[in-house]
Structure 1
Amino acid sequence: MSIAAAPHQALSQTGTPSASPVDAPSAVPARRPGSEAGGAEDCVTALAGSLMDREEAEAMAQSLKAVADPTRLQLLHLIKSAPGGEACVCDLTECLGLRQPTISHHLKILVAAGLLTRERRGTWSWFAVDPKGLEALRRMVG
């Protein structure tokens, strides 16, 4: 049995008519009491003082993207809790059970975001949590 929808109605996944976007209430934001139509200047003036600098926003986004990956969060935790607060990439591959190129990729992202420092010792790289980067991340989310 098929249910026919009116021309202005869409069918839901169950085949029953549902309201189309045309019938839905508009998404026009409500105005503040006492504000006049076209009060964009009021919004701009009220919010301008709280606007984040674009460069700061881009740096923050890069840091948040860096920690938005479970492997990278595990790496940060491992390095932060390692003896001496540093770890060799060779030790990290064994802990996480991932190949060295994969670990190196994640570490590179964390270094670029300012969350880790890297020091080359012979053929291996050693990583430590950058306290300034970690504090900046804490301020962002807290």
Structure 2
Amino acid sequence: MSTPNSAPPAIDIVDETFLAVPPATVAAAFADPAAWRRYWPDLRLEVYTDRGDKGLRWTVRGALVGTMEVWLEPVLDGTLLHYFLRATPATPPRRPRDLRREFDHRARAAKAISLELKEILEDGREPGIPPRPQPA
């Protein structure tokens, strides 16, 4: 996980999760900065590209320094949620295993966020099955 020229080691996480809801529904879950603080409490995020229903790109500060992106790709009757985190710990790890632990922690957290959104936003809907009508 180290890079050439004695550069600090980096964390590079890519995750994908299918949600059986439209991209606009997923985008709304990420629109509020209060959600960012809940999902990533030790990071300070600043939007550098707002792509609307296609997602967001942030600069990352705090425990990590780098960039993060949520890309929302329309697929069939839902959305493929792509998550990218490319960052370096603000405090260099003392041992290689510390970096590995940080990587594992961030990868598991990314998947937990995606699965939580899947459960909440799909509300039991299965792919290929139309959403339940909402009461009037």
The answer to whether the superposition gives a TM-score over 0.5 is no
Larger Rg: 1
TM-score by length of 2: 0.23
- Which has the bigger relative contact order, CA under 8 A and spacing at least 6? 2
Which structure features the higher share of strand residues? 2
